[in-house]
Structure formats: C-alpha cells, structure tokens
Amino acid sequence: MAQKASHNGNGTTSPVASNWTPTVYPTIANPPLPAEGAGNQTFDNRILYSAVAGIPFVITVALRWNLWLYPVVALVTALPILATTLYYSSKYAPRYNNKVNLPEHPIEEYITIRDPVLKSLYNGRNKIPMETFFEAYFDDKIDLNGDALHILESRHDWAAFQFTLGQFQFFLTQWIPETLWHSKKQDEDQVREHYDRGDDFYEWFLGPRMIYTSGIISDQHKRETLEEIQDNKLDLVCQKIQLKKGERHLDIGCGWGTLVAHAAKNFGTDSTGITLGVNQTEFGTNRIKEYGVPATQARIKTMDYRDIPRRPRYNKITCLEMAEHVGIRKFQEFLLQVRDMLEDDGLFFLQIAGLRK
C-alpha cells in the first residue's frame, strides 16, 4: 500500500496509509499516529466458548471421572479459563483497522523509566502494559519525554494493551462486588473518596466549568476554547429537552452543579442538582450564587438518587455520565424511578459512555 508522511508535532514524521485523510478541525489537534490496537472487534467469542466448554470436558475424560461431574468441573474452571483466554487474546490479538505502520521506536524515545525493576522488564521494543505504565507514572516512577498528548497519541508504538494481574484483581475485588450490590453506603464511600479529593485537583484539567462529560464543536471551521465547547454542550442538552422558563428540572449526578446553574440562569428553570459529593455540593451552591441565580430558583442537594422525593414531579430530568454509580443490576429500577418522577409529558436526557455491544 502506498504511504505518505504525516507530521506528528514533534518535528518527526510517521508513515501514513495513503487512503487516510487527516482531519483539519481547528479545535481538534490531529493525532500524530492514528493507530488502533486490538479490541472487542478482534476478540473471538467462539474461542472463549470452546475453551470454557472443551477444557473441563478434557479434564473430566483425562482423569477418568464420571461425566456427571462435568458440569461441576465446568463451573469451577469457568473463571480461570475466562481470565486466561482474555489475557492471551489481549496479548496476541492482531491490531485492528490499521491506518499507519508503527514507527517501532524504542520505548526510551517516549518515556524514561526511573524504577530499576521496571526498567529491566520494559526496554527497547519490549512494550510496557498500559495499566502498569499509568500506575507507575502516578507513583512518580516514569517521566514523559516530551508533550503528553503526542506521547499518548503514539501509545501503540510503546505500550501493550494486555490484561494485567492488577486488572484481574480489580475485576474480582471491586468490579464484581460493586456490580452486584451498589448499596447506598458503598456508593457514598466510592463517590466521596473519588470526588472530594479537592476541587483544585479537578480544576487543573477540567477548567473553570468543572465538567467533563464531553464538549460540542459548534463550527468545525472555527477554533473554540475548552470553555466554549463545554458551554455548547450545556446549551445542546438544554435545547434537546426543550427547557422553558419556570419548568421544574432535576439533574441526577450533577457533579459540580454547572448544568444546574447554567439552566437556571439561561433558561429560567427551577433546577435541582443531586450529588453524593460534599465538596461538589458546596462548589455547586457557590456557582449558583456566582451566576446570579437566587437560591429559590436553583439548589444542590447531597443525596443518594434513590432518596429523591418522587413528588412533586419534574418537567425535565437530566442524567449525564452517572450510570456507573447505578450499576447494571439496578439500572432498570433506576429508569422506572425516573419515569415515575417525570410529568406525563416530561422529557429525560440520558448520556452514557459505555461499552459497545
């Protein structure tokens, strides 16, 4: 396939497939290395099902056990077989939808590993697992050799996206319990440990709007700031649910309350935000004051979503990126609650960044 060169922002070039056309949006920097790794597109469920069903059968026959023990063996070995299949699939699966040839630079060109043990394991073309990288980076064991965006956009050249022991431990000890239970106390501890670590910490990368649920580019030919595309997002949400002056509006999982303040100020709604974060409640209350909205028109409440009073009903309800705090098992119950809290002609806006089917 014919190749052409693409400048990556650091003065070097990467070979790019000739059938790939870089975007030229002024607001979005073009990725220096638009490569994609293996993912769900390259995972073959047939291999997983064959392993889960076949390996226990082989074990049962090899040990000359009665076949009625086969279901028991299959149940006992299912989780280890799943973990092993996922690990080897993530380690050896081919790249998907290749748009470029990787430069195949040594890992030292992108990052400096200061931990001797890690450095002995990952050097040259021996890629470091992404989970290992970011945990070590947070522990100040790794430095980035240049611009963070450029290095992370080039991640497929130096990082491996394979499952690690830490991820399996997280799956067993945190993900499964949280998915199964999602008690009020569990959610409260999780949210407050996460979001009450300091508003200054979040403002460093969220900017003054303190929202991270996405941004909207209003004009692809015009350069817009982070704040502008976030304001565009807020306006879009309010317009989609057709907010009108005086309507009762509820924002479930309101974060730092910016949508609540924005809706009340610009659309004249009576808005209520719900969060478990103590810091977020204080911040959102102050934000409402900063926006010049009276406390009788907008407020932030520290409350579990399950404790929201069902009456009086709301004209409009929004919920942006709060689904992970509901959990799969309780999600239908959550949606029924939302329907019960809505007026008969009410509208509900739900945004979820989740896994594809």
Q: What whole-number distance in Å separates Cα of residue 59 and Cα of residue 132?
A: 34
pLDDT tens for the chain, 357 residues: list them. 344 444 444 444 444 445 567 777 888 877 777 777 777 778 888 999 999 999 999 999 999 999 999 999 999 999 899 989 988 888 888 877 777 788 899 999 999 999 999 999 999 999 999 999 999 999 999 999 999 988 998 899 999 988 888 888 888 887 777 777 778 887 887 788 888 888 999 999 899 999 987 899 998 889 999 999 999 999 999 999 999 999 999 999 999 999 999 999 999 999 999 999 999 999 999 999 999 999 999 999 999 999 999 999 999 999 999 888 888 888 999 999 999 999 999 999 999 887 655
pLDDT score of 9:
42
Asked if 76 and 118 count as a contact pair (C-beta separation under 8 A), the reply is no
User: What's residue 355's pLDDT?
Assistant: 61
Tell me which CATH code domain 226-351 carries.
3.40.50.150
Q: What is the largest CA-CA distance in the chain?
A: 78
pLDDT of residue 356: 57
Contacts of 255 (CB under 8 A, 6+ apart): 195, 210, 211, 213, 275, 277, 280, 284, 320
Question: Where does the chain have alpha helices with state H?
Answer: 45-62, 70-92, 116-121, 130-138, 148-153, 165-170, 176-180, 184-195, 199-206, 226-240, 258-267, 278-290, 331-341
Given a contact cutoff of 8 angstroms between Cβ atoms, the answer to whether 37 and 104 are in contact is no
| Predicted local confidence at residue 177, as pLDDT | 76
What are the residue boundaries of the structural domains of the chain, listed by start?
Answer: 44-92, 226-351
Residue for token pair 């580019």: 217
- At residue 1, the pLDDT reads 37
pLDDT of residue 275: 96
Q: In terms of C-beta density within 10 A (0-12 exposed, 13-18 middle, 19 or more buried), how is residue 206 classed?
A: middle
Taking the alpha carbons of 297, 303, 305, 310 in that order, is the dihedral positive or negative? negative
Q: With beta carbons less than 8 A apart as the criterion, state whether 143 and 21 touch.
A: no
Residue 182's pLDDT is what? 78
- Other C-beta atoms lying within 10 Å of the C-beta of residue 40: 10
61, exposed or middle or buried, with CB in 10 Å at 0-12, 13-18, 19+?
exposed
pLDDT of residue 357: 52
Instruction: Give the pLDDT confidence score for residue 15 in this predicted structure.
Output: 47
Compute the distance between CA of residue 157 and CA of residue 294 in angstroms, rounded to an integer: 53
The secondary structure of 189-229, three-state, reads HHHHHHHCCCHHHHHHHHCCCCCCCCCCCCCCCCCCCHHHH
Residue 10 confidence (pLDDT): 44
User: Rounded to an integer, what distance in angstroms lies between the CA atom of residue 249 and that of residue 270?
Assistant: 6
Residue 9 is given by DSSP the state S
Query: For residues 319 and 326, what is the distance between their CA atoms, to the nearest angstrom?
Result: 11
Structure tokens at 291: 């926006």
* pLDDT score of 12: 45
